[in-house]
Amino acid sequence: MSMLRRWRAKHLLLAWVVYWVALLAVALHSALDVAARALNAPQGQGSISASVDNGNFILKAAANGQTWTGTTSITSMVLWFAGPPLLLFLVWLASRRAPLVEPDPERDYPIS
């Protein structure tokens, strides 16, 4: 918690980017090999497609007779994408201290 107090907005944004890159790497690690071969395959021998059907996001990659298909619900995809960064933002916001206000001698006078 004390580490988050020293963070500025740029640190928070960098943490989000690192999270999103790691999320994509973990979620698509098995598809990356097939997708790389599909992108480098000769004309007409590789394909990559993405679609939405019945509330599910579907990603397909095919190259050299090998096909990879991944499916996830749009709700879970949105929650994985936005949930942890939003939670980190809320924890960061809660851990920040309010700035100290210097008392103004002209304004702060005792009322008798």
Helix (H, G, I), strand (E, B) or coil at 63: strand
Distance CA 99, CA 102 (A): 9
**What is residue 107's predicted lDDT score, i.e. its pLDDT?**
67
Residue bearing the bigger pLDDT, 57 or 7: 57
The mean pLDDT value for 70-90 works out to 94
pLDDT per residue as tens digits for the range 39-74: 888 888 899 999 999 999 999 999 888 889 999 999
- The yes-or-no verdict on residue 101 having pLDDT over 90 is no
The mean pLDDT value for 86-111 works out to 77
pTM of the predicted structure, to 2 decimals: 0.68
Question: Residue 7 — pLDDT band, cuts 50, 70, 90?
Answer: confident
Which tokens hold the place of 13? 């944004």
